[in-house]
Amino acid sequence: MLHLLYRLVAQQYVEDWTEVAREIQRIARVRPDLRPSRESAEELLADLPWDKVFDFCERLYSHLARAVYRYNEQTEETEVVASRTEVQDYIASELRVLFLEEHLAFEFAKGLVHRRGRRITADRVVRAELVLGDPRLSAARTHFNKALRYFRSVSQPDPENVVKEAVCAVEAAARTLFPTGGSTLGDVVRSITGSGLGQLPKPIAKTFDGLYGFRSGGVGVGHGGAAGGAVTKELAEYALSVAASQIVLLVDLSMALEPEVPF
């Protein structure tokens, strides 16, 4: 963010460091400094919580961005070097790149910071990431991380690969957690379907078959020539959310089968 601010001040896309510092003071809810400076802006920005940094990004775009003019001595007229809209477009572009570089679950669009996906999806993803911290599930974690990158990419969205990698993550987790169940997700699901402890009730097992079927039949997801329907952004998010829940469920089922350790 500081690199961006240095460029904006140098190009006169914002007025100066004084205005930048004053805006950060306002966002941080601190007493105004009578002599704000670049140093004070840097210190305050470094201490801002993430949610306040997002507020600053929005204010940088909407409040601090300004048009740049220069005086033409030959025509004796003031010319526009960069309109305010052009400056705002530049700021938005730089912020989008910054968010992508930091792998944030947010994007900057139309002057505002938006969470990528619905809150329930984000919550399920967090739960899945926690259980995927198990070293045994490294293969599943690799696939799941790929699905997240495809889902969170603003510049190159790839919903088909979101579905493919999300289902691959479920399959990898299932094969690791139930090594005697078979070599495919379908095999493992069938092996653990039942009404006993650590088993999947049949209606729930069908949800695994359904998601796996879409991974195989969705247009552009699995097999060439598949005609199972186009993968939209909404369907990709649904697949990711369901896959995250399925991974957590598989982990819970496997733990139910582990013998209790006597103390």
pLDDT at position 219, please? 55
Please determine, for residue 223, whether its predicted confidence score (pLDDT) is greater than 70. Answer: no
Question: pLDDT for 71-105, tens place per residue?
Answer: 888 888 889 999 999 999 999 999 988 987 887 77
Cα distances (angstroms) measured from residue 14 to each of 6, 58, 64, 245: 10, 14, 6, 45
Please determine, for residue 18, whether its predicted confidence score (pLDDT) is greater than 50. Answer: yes
Is the dihedral angle over the CA atoms 238, 142, 103, 155 positive or is it negative? negative
Phi, psi of 70 (to 5 degrees): -145, 155
pLDDT at position 256, please? 82
Please determine, for residue 224, whether its predicted confidence score (pLDDT) is greater than 60. Answer: no
Distance from chain centroid for Cα 179: 32
CATH dotted code for 119-256: 1.20.120
SS (H, E, C) the chain: CHHHHHHHHHCCCCCCHHHHHHHHHHHHCCCCCCCCCHHHHHHHHHHCCHHHHHHHHHHHHHHHCCCEEEEECCCCEEEEEECHHHHHHHHHHHHHHHHHHCCCCEEEECCEEEECCCHHHHHHHHHHHHHCCCHHHHHHHHHHHHHHHHHHCCCCCCHHHHHHHHHHHHHHHHHHHCCCCCCCHHHHHHHCECCCCCCECHHHHHHHHHHHHHHHHCCCCCCCCCCCCCCCHHHHHHHHHHHHHHHHHHHHHHHHCCCCCCC
Top-confidence residue, 136 or 256 = 136
Question: How many Cα atoms are found within 13 Å in the side-chain-facing hemisphere of 246?
Answer: 29
Residues of the chain within CATH 1.20.120 domain(s) are 119-256
pLDDT at position 260, please? 55
Top-confidence residue, 233 or 58 = 58
pLDDT at position 218, please? 56
pLDDT at position 100, please? 79
Q: Give the chain's largest Cα–Cα span.
A: 91
